[in-house]
Amino acid sequence: MTLSATVLDAPDARELAAFYQRMLGWTIDSDEPGWVTMHAPGGGAGLSFQTEKEYVRPVWPAGPGDQRMMLHLDIEVDDLETAVAHATGAGATLAGHQPQDDVRVLLDPAGHPFCLWVRTDGSTPEP
């Protein structure tokens, strides 16, 4: 088995794909009504975006009764401050709650949380 992509639901697949294309610089492979796929230049699993008419934006951090995130993306960067500026320039929002000093949680335009982090000790960030 090979993981080919992570699929993110959104009110508008094209709009969310355009954000990730601006932020990551990845290539769009297919753009169909309600479905967009992209991949990293170096290969590996890609991202896909699906329009979901009943999409409910997650709340992060979620409290009792809130729509919880189903997953989040961890994106390794070389410089945290520069990466946050780039991501917000592409359309992300810095989350109000930041649980770690060496990780920044941002929200994409559909509200999906994602983490930007710098590898310092060989570990990965905690959600």
Q: What does the block give as tokens for 61?
A: 């951090």
One domain for residues 50 and 79: no
What kind and span of H or E run contains 19? Answer: helix 13-24
Whether the per-residue pLDDT at 37 is higher than 60: the answer is yes
One domain for residues 51 and 63: no
One domain for residues 107 and 76: yes
One domain for residues 107 and 79: yes
Q: Pick left, alpha or beta for residue 72 (phi over 0 → left; psi -120 to 50 → alpha; otherwise beta).
A: beta
One domain for residues 43 and 72: no
One domain for residues 43 and 81: no
Residue 70, pLDDT score: 87
Residue 95, pLDDT score: 97
Boundaries of domain holding 73 = 57-126
The overall average pLDDT reported for the chain is 93
Q: Tell me how far apart the alpha carbons of residues 26 and 36 are, in angstroms, rounded to a whole number.
A: 12
pLDDT per residue as tens digits for the range 38-87: 999 988 999 999 999 999 999 999 999 999 988 899 999 999 999 999 99
One domain for residues 122 and 79: yes
Amino acid at 18: A
Number of domains in the chain: 2
Q: pTM of the predicted model, to two decimals?
A: 0.89
